[in-house]
Structure 1
Amino acid sequence: MLATPIVQFGTSRFLQAHADLFISEALKDGRALGPITVVQTSGDPGRAKRLKALAVKAGFDVRVRGLLQGTRIDDVRTVTSVSKALSTDLDRPEVERVLRDEAEIILSNTTEHGFLPRPADGGPTFSQAMSFPAKLAHLLFSRFAENARPLQIMPCELLHENGAALKAHVLPVAERLSADYARWLETKVLWVNSLVDRIVSEPLEPAGAVTEPYALWAIEACVGLTLPCAHPALKVVGDLGDVETMKLFILNLGHTYLVENWRRSEGGQAFVRELMDDKTIRKDLFNLYMDEVLPAFAAEGRSSEADRYIDETLDRFANPYLDHRLADIARNHAQKVELRIGGFLSFANHAVPGYRAPRLEAILARHAE
């Protein structure tokens, strides 16, 4: 079996329709670093069938549906970039071997919730009950002890400066294992910040997903950066901040705002597009953007850019071909309110001291109670 220079933590449908698809397409032209080992970190037996299906030789399908610059897209693409599928619960020795002997780049998408500290993180040995950063600290120790080869880690979780955030969670755990190990992680491992953007609306079984045509993988430029592949959706940028604020405080904030109102109204809609079919709801979201979001971007001289992104976002939400489930967006809702709405209000108050956004402030206050 071929070596897998890319190791991916997380089996999410998002990564299947994003990084896994991009790397698969690039491999066909010899423009990718190599195939992928996917590692399930949750140990959830209910996802065992999905995990196994990711690495079948025939691959898994991703269906791309929607409108791209007015052109209807509806095609199926087969992803064959995943060579091995392992679990930290059942295959830990092999996970450690792949990380030690094969890995050049680590990807992850364990959700924002996966970064949260857990009581088990302070334990002296690996535990399946640990958070993802703590697990990673223990899993990489054998690489340090055996060969200490440099490594690149580029998380895809939707967190500000996600590479730096993951590093900050891993280092304290590593320090308890060995000061030299922590120093290696600090000096020889490249922690890359990136931002991902693609709406993945529904699963295909046992693996695969339905997704929109739009896709972005923005990677922050840094010394020594190695790209996992070459692909039109992958862009190296000097400053992720501008990209991040647009996505997080317009598209993601819009999702969280819609879900907050949907939950409170106990609405019968199942999908984002159904909310957008309601003219009252669509107008309310548009007004929120115009009254409470756009002025913050305008204060930074980004009014035209934000206005275009708002229009694009509303069209993406209304995509008639995607069943983007509100229940899926509602997962970890409290954390998303803090990150997206609380984060925006901090951003806005920095741009305009005393900034007022009554509807967003009310949502944040409800979740602080």
Structure 2
Amino acid sequence: MRLSATTLPSIPAAVTRPAYDREAQAIGIVHFGIGAFHRAHQAMFTDDAMAGGERDWAIAGVSLRSPAVHAMLAPQDGLYSVAIRGRATAETRIVGAVREVIVATHAPDRLARLLAARETRIVSLTITEKGYLRQPDGTLDLSAAAGGATVYAVLVAAFRARRAAGLPGLTIICCDNLADNGGVLDGLIRAYLDRYAPDLLPWFARECACPATMVDRIVPATREADREAAGISLGLRDEAAVVTEPFRQWVIEDRFATPRPGWERVGAQLVGDVRPYETAKLRMLNGAHSALAYCGLAAGHRYVHEAVADPRIRALVERLMRDEAACTVNPAPGQDLAAYADTLFVRFANPALPHGLAQIAMDGSQKIGQRWLEPLAINHGRGLSCPATLAALAAWIRHARGDDGHLDDPMADRLRALWAEAGRDGIAAALFGRDGLFAAAWQADDAAIEALRALLAEA
């Protein structure tokens, strides 16, 4: 039998279940991108907030196109289990914050009603970096964003409906790994409005807010073995089971246009400036993750804990994180970057959480700018060399050729074409030279180009 509201009472007492009446909670949050990360992170914070007495913050999860998550969650009435696995600890809980799941292209009218409802006050997003439809220079790809199923088109329709009904605006929270994600989202929405709905620009500026956030929790892709383990714990089949680590962090800029849940009472941090936290996460954690992914795959490893146990890879990632990335972060008062690095390596080494390197390696063209190229540019301006970051970058360049079968990237065709045109000796300049594809983020000097050529020649 499947986990559902009907079968929930039958689960073992050792499994924690929602500590509130789900049916009494109105939907207050519409979330785009109802994947495993959201279910293990923001939805759990919201679940905890409602368990603590907050009301009417249930979540409607939206998939823009794929019906896969709807097929997992809808028959389960939005319920799912989260297995929290540490090196020596394990617990399972049922999360009840998700009340409804919608596929935007299948139920556009229902989605429109939810976004236009007075009770809806927050829209949140985990649509991955590529979901924002940005060009390599970071600006909005207006032609790609014009389709009716894009998040921009859906939001603009909601803005128009709320304005017509005399309702207040929305707080729109980006929870993806974009530097200054609140400011970026605000700018992208304004660019879309300027082109397609300029009459809404003053209303958006007056009524809405896009606070910046930093999110952190390692959530590997769920495997069939994880679903089987969940079935043993629950005595029920859970198609939407999620596995994660004990650690979680959510730093949110305290700038809302609407009421909000008391997330800070259940562990979130409300701050005036998210940038030091987000920069540390992007450059230290995410930068190290990418290095582990590309170097680890090249060395024949499958999981993060295997790659970080490889002495050669571990030494490279230690140097990248501690010496080349941390020095580019301006920490907030009390933010200990050395301790943060120590914590990260403990998390990476957790064998109870098999985090696939291929999963981390996806969409590298959308990620390397913030994770590696920005630190490279900063260090170059200071006259500092970054041999570990260049070694990781060379591993990505090799990966981008697509020979190992792991390349999953929105720019895959373009990257393969550049490789075919430039060859091994010219690919570094084609990507990072004066007129390179990524030159806007970091323009490599002659020494860096030569270093990358030498590293590529070693393969």
TM-score by shorter chain over 0.5? yes
> Paired residue for 1:161, among 165, 172, 180?
180
Separation in 1, partners of 2:195, 2:327: 46
Worse-superposed segment, 273-282 or 175-184:
175-184
1:87 CA drift (Å): 1.4
Whichever structure has more strand as a proportion of its residues is 1
Separation in 2, partners of 1:160, 1:304: 18
AA in 1 matched with 2:129: E
AA in 1 matched with 2:293: V
Indicate how the Cα distance of structure 1 residues 44 and 251 shifts in structure 2: closer, same or farther if over 3 A, else same. Answer: same
State the match for 1:206 in structure 2: 239
Deviations 1:40-99 (A, max 9, x none): 11x12444413425x616x210011115xxxx4310011001111111101111101111
The residue matched to 1:274 in structure 2 has which SS? helix
Separation in 2, partners of 1:120, 1:22: 36
1:206 CA drift (Å): 1.7
1:162 CA drift (Å): 1.2
1:223 CA drift (Å): 6.4
Indicate how the Cα distance of structure 1 residues 340 and 191 shifts in structure 2: closer, same or farther if over 3 A, else same. Answer: same
1:160 CA drift (Å): 1.5
State the match for 1:183 in structure 2: 202
Separation in 2, partners of 1:276, 1:361: 18
> Paired residue for 2:382, among 347, 353, 356?
353
In the alignment, structure 1 residue 235 sits paired with structure 2 residue 269: yes
1:277 CA drift (Å): 2.5
Indicate how the Cα distance of structure 1 residues 360 and 284 shifts in structure 2: closer, same or farther if over 3 A, else same. Answer: closer
**Unpaired runs of at least 5, structure 2:** 1-22, 135-140, 228-237, 398-427, 433-459
Separation in 2, partners of 1:364, 1:110: 25
State the match for 2:356 in structure 1: 325
1:355 CA drift (Å): 2.5
Separation in 1, partners of 2:313, 2:243: 25
State the match for 1:87 in structure 2: 103
Q: Is the 8 A contact 2:287 2:321 kept in 1?
A: no
1:361 CA drift (Å): 3.5
State the match for 1:108 in structure 2: 125
State the match for 2:166 in structure 1: 147
State the match for 1:222 in structure 2: 255
Separation in 2, partners of 1:234, 1:262: 32
Written as runs of structure 1 = structure 2, the 5 A alignment for 1:1-369 is: 3-31=26-54, 33-41=56-64, 43-53=65-75, 56=77, 59-67=79-87, 72-101=88-117, 102-117=119-134, 118=141, 120-121=143-144, 123=146, 127-128=148-149, 130=150, 132-203=151-222, 204=227, 206-222=239-255, 226-230=259-263, 231-263=265-297, 265=298, 267-297=299-329, 305-349=336-380, 353-361=382-390, 363-364=392-393, 366=397, 368=431
AA in 1 matched with 2:382: P
Worse-superposed segment, 236-245 or 211-220:
236-245
TM-score (norm 2): 0.70
Separation in 2, partners of 1:273, 1:256: 13
Separation in 2, partners of 1:33, 1:11: 19
1:199 CA drift (Å): 0.5
Deviations 1:273-319 (A, max 9, x none): 1112223322332233344234445x879999221111111111001
Separation in 1, partners of 2:303, 2:143: 37
Indicate how the Cα distance of structure 1 residues 348 and 141 shifts in structure 2: closer, same or farther if over 3 A, else same. Answer: farther
1:253 CA drift (Å): 0.5
Deviations 1:167-218 (A, max 9, x none): 2111232234443312111111011111101001232452131111110110
Q: Is the 8 A contact 2:319 2:388 kept in 1?
A: no
Separation in 1, partners of 2:56, 2:285: 31
Q: Is the 8 A contact 2:28 2:59 kept in 1?
A: yes
Separation in 2, partners of 1:215, 1:122: 32
AA in 2 matched with 1:152: T
Q: Is the 8 A contact 1:22 1:229 kept in 2?
A: no
Q: Is the 8 A contact 1:272 1:325 kept in 2?
A: yes
Separation in 1, partners of 2:278, 2:41: 17
Q: Is the 8 A contact 1:40 1:51 kept in 2?
A: no
TM-score (norm 1): 0.86
Separation in 2, partners of 1:7, 1:301: 31
Alignment size in residue pairs: 353
Report which of the two structures shows the higher radius of gyration computed on alpha carbons.
2
Q: Is the 8 A contact 1:24 1:79 kept in 2?
A: yes
Indicate how the Cα distance of structure 1 residues 242 and 348 shifts in structure 2: closer, same or farther if over 3 A, else same. Answer: farther
The residue matched to 2:127 in structure 1 has which SS? coil
The residue matched to 1:171 in structure 2 has which SS? helix
Q: Is the 8 A contact 1:7 1:107 kept in 2?
A: yes
AA in 2 matched with 1:186: A
1:362 CA drift (Å): 5.3
Percent of pairs with identical residues: 28
After superposition, the CA RMSD in angstroms is 2.7
Q: Is the 8 A contact 1:61 1:76 kept in 2?
A: yes
Q: Is the 8 A contact 2:210 2:256 kept in 1?
A: no
Separation in 1, partners of 2:97, 2:351: 30
Separation in 2, partners of 1:171, 1:295: 33
